[in-house]
Amino acid sequence: MSDPPVLQLQLPSWKLEILGQWEFDRNSVTRTVDDGPLRKIEPVQQAAPQSSDDTAKSSGVEEKMVTWNSADDADNPRNWTRRAKWKNLIMVSLICFMSPLSSTILAAALPQIRSDLHVTSEVELQAIFSIFTLGYTVGPIFMSPLSDVYGRVIVLQLSNVVNLLANAACAAATSSTTLIILRLVAGIGGSTGLIIGGGVISETFNPDERGFAVAVYSLAPIAGPTLGPILGAFLIQRFGLPSIFISTSIASAVLGAIGFFILRETNPRCILRVRTVRLRKETGDPALRTQWDDQKISYTFLIAIRQPFYLLFTKPMAILLVFFQSYLWGLLYLAFSIYISIFNSVFQQPLDTASLNYLAFLCGNIVSVLVSSIISDRVYRDLKARFGRGIDKPIFRLPMTIGGVFVFAAGLIVIGWAAERKISVLMADVGGALFAMGSFTAYQSLQVLMIDAFGVYATSILAAAAMVRSIASFSFPLAAPALFASLGFGWGHTLIALIALLFGSATVVFTWWLEDRLTIELPAGY
């Protein structure tokens, strides 16, 4: 019986790509084909090209590549136990939760800030509120490549320290300018959790497990802004404005301390680097290397900085997905900034009572997580079996996206006309719940679609998405006063809902139609 044919897959020398349980060697990998689907064999280990310093050449010692021992290597995050995977992801999610909570906690405090800091401009007041999210534009440029080189955990923890220190300093701010600058710095530090979460999920969970994982992880950046105004209203009425900043800083410090004992590194580069150092000490063999040892840190850092911008400006599908998700995110922050005023000014509720209506958003988020946990991965697996012939395709996430868009738009319209006609508080809250449920469903399905579609570039595309989202979340609230003053709550909400429907439908249709454009390969130097 003749040997089965062999398929050689060539990859650029600096890349590591993990598909399913396979890790590809830095130059090539051999896998056996048996008249059909690829079947697993022992991974082929090859010697890496020697580094530019020619140390190995001069010593006459052949370099030895350190990689995963097998497809079942216990150190590979994809082979961790379910408990270990979820414990790690939930800890990342909790740290991530504090940043968006801090971004909206000032919603109920804006009247107090106007009085205490003598703010006369409505735009300046909204800038104090939304400048935090502008930090999400700057953070990904540096935090994403730093986490690729030095690891997810250390970058997350150090960024958390920057966030809590800047946030605590806001308590002593005596001018609007100082407060704006400090909140910008806090936003830069708080951006990391929103960036590395996608990388952690991609490195830890298999494609058919990611729907629920992304739903749970995405609850943090959605629930945080929802609970922020409620907590802020409670604190400012009982303890004053400084308590808002001090309490969130204490909570961030506690979570960071807990994370010190719980968080585990998921970046293969860092895990294998530690393994290589340990093996060198144990064996005394200086030829042991990882595939990244040839790379200069500055070169790797430059590539990681370039990638988000290259994807954002040259790949049409990346542009479409990123800008639609950013539109949803911008509307979310627009709603956060205006929602409390609907109940305070239209329905004449006291500030602390009006803030409780944000619980409608939280209810919608929770329902969305429950629905996603039940049907998201199930729909994906069903479409994979029915239309994909067992092959994973990112476009199988799109039914959840379009469903979320319709619910989201309906919620906006209900909120707007309940306020315009002064129908009832309950009706407005029903609209808020629908809005939150739909926006969260659409947001998380787009998030997992991008993780699936861009694979090894997941961290870069999420960094690009975070930058554009932060610009939207900063600018949309600034436009809210003029929009609703001109059109009123009814037609104002209807307009942005119709735009969401048209934009969302076009995004889904074009993504499904042009699915082959989702598979990308960047040129050398990117």
**What confidence tens digit (pLDDT) does each residue in 478-518 have?**
888 889 989 999 999 999 999 999 999 998 888 888 776 66
Query: Cα torsion for 348, 232, 178, 478, to the nearest 10°?
Result: -50
Please enumerate in sequence order all residues whose Cβ is within 8 A of that of 285, keeping only pairs 6 or more positions apart, or say none: 64, 279
One domain for residues 27 and 142: no
Is residue 414 within 8 A of residue 433, CB to CB? The reply is: no
One domain for residues 358 and 397: yes
297 vs 148, 185, 191, 334, CA distance in Å?
10, 26, 22, 40
Q: Please provide the average confidence, as pLDDT, over all residues in the chain.
A: 81
User: What would the mean pLDDT of 210-214 be, rounded to a whole number?
Assistant: 80
One domain for residues 308 and 235: yes
503 class by beta-carbon count within 10 Å (0-12 exposed, 13-18 middle, 19+ buried): middle
One domain for residues 109 and 18: no
Residue span of the structural domain in which 9 resides: 1-47
User: Domain total for the chain?
Assistant: 2
User: What would the mean pLDDT of 81-92 be, rounded to a whole number?
Assistant: 94
pLDDT for 392 beyond 80: no
Q: What pLDDT score was predicted for residue 84?
A: 94
Q: What pLDDT score was predicted for residue 145?
A: 80
Residue 71 maps to a domain: no
Range from 78-87, 99-108, 292-301, 484-493 carrying the lowest mean pLDDT:
292-301
Range from 18-32, 180-194, 347-361 carrying the lowest mean pLDDT:
18-32
Cα angle 313, 319, 323 (rounded to 5 degrees) comes to 125
One domain for residues 20 and 142: no
pLDDT band at 418 (very low <50, low <70, confident <90, very high): very high
Is residue 348 within 8 A of residue 420, CB to CB? The reply is: no
Residue 66 maps to a domain: no
pLDDT band at 522 (very low <50, low <70, confident <90, very high): low
pLDDT band at 191 (very low <50, low <70, confident <90, very high): confident
Q: What is the bridge-based pairing of β-strands 38-39 and 18-19?
A: unpaired
Percent helix / strand / coil, the chain, rounded to 5: 75, 5, 20
Residue 422, token pair as written in the block: 């002064």
One domain for residues 22 and 132: no
One domain for residues 226 and 311: yes
Residue 357 maps to a domain: yes
pLDDT band at 398 (very low <50, low <70, confident <90, very high): confident
CATH number at residue 356: 1.20.1250.20
One domain for residues 103 and 28: no
Residue 419 maps to a domain: yes
Residue 246 maps to a domain: yes
Residue 398 maps to a domain: yes
One domain for residues 170 and 319: yes
Q: What pLDDT score was predicted for residue 45?
A: 41
Share of the chain above pLDDT 90, in %: 31
Residue 275 maps to a domain: no
One domain for residues 24 and 146: no
Q: Which residue has the higher pLDDT, 381 or 239?
A: 239
pTM over 0.75: no
pLDDT band at 147 (very low <50, low <70, confident <90, very high): confident
Beta strands in 147-246 (DSSP E): none
pLDDT band at 523 (very low <50, low <70, confident <90, very high): low
One domain for residues 15 and 110: no
One domain for residues 368 and 484: yes
Residue 274 maps to a domain: no
